[in-house]
Amino acid sequence: MKRAVLLPAIVLGAVLAFALWNSSTMYICVLRWQEQIHQAGELACQGAWAEAAEALEDSYQDWSGKQAYLRIVTEHDAANSAEMMYLRAMAFASVQEDSEFLAELAGLQEQLRLLAEMEQFRLENIL
């Protein structure tokens, strides 16, 4: 009897550990990306467009470095939406369109928040 319960208990424990690790990892990544995006917005508000574009590009490179992980654990549509928002924001930065740039950054931050929320270890995400 004990042997029959041991393997399923180990599998459940491994799944739980992965879910907790994934939730934590996604939360940490999203906080970092949001801070980078916030910094880009602050630089744009100060008129430092070259620095804002560079900060956004650095954030995009950081984001791009996690694509394999994101494609495995998140919904592709959500990740694709964030990717497109990064690209639109970079286009607005290149032409120094402040209102569109800041609006796109706000949308991107919200999309990243939703990505993290989808990966949180909560009952509604399990069911």
pLDDT in tens, 5-61: 888 888 989 988 988 898 899 999 999 999 999 999 999 999 999 999 999 999 999
In a domain, 7, yes or no: no
In a domain, 116, yes or no: yes
Write out the E strands in 20-115. none
Angle at alpha carbon of residue 93, lines to 106 and 44, rounded to 5°: 70
Residue 40 backbone dihedrals phi, psi, to 5 degrees = -60, -40
The Cα 109–Cα 100 span in angstroms is 14
Return the closest-CA partner of residue 41 out of 87, 120, 109, 126.
109
Q: Give the torsion through C-alpha atoms of 107, 108, 110, 116, to 10 deg.
A: 160
In a domain, 11, yes or no: no
In a domain, 15, yes or no: no
**Tally of domains within the chain:** 1
Question: What CATH number does the domain containing 110 carry?
Answer: 1.20.120.660
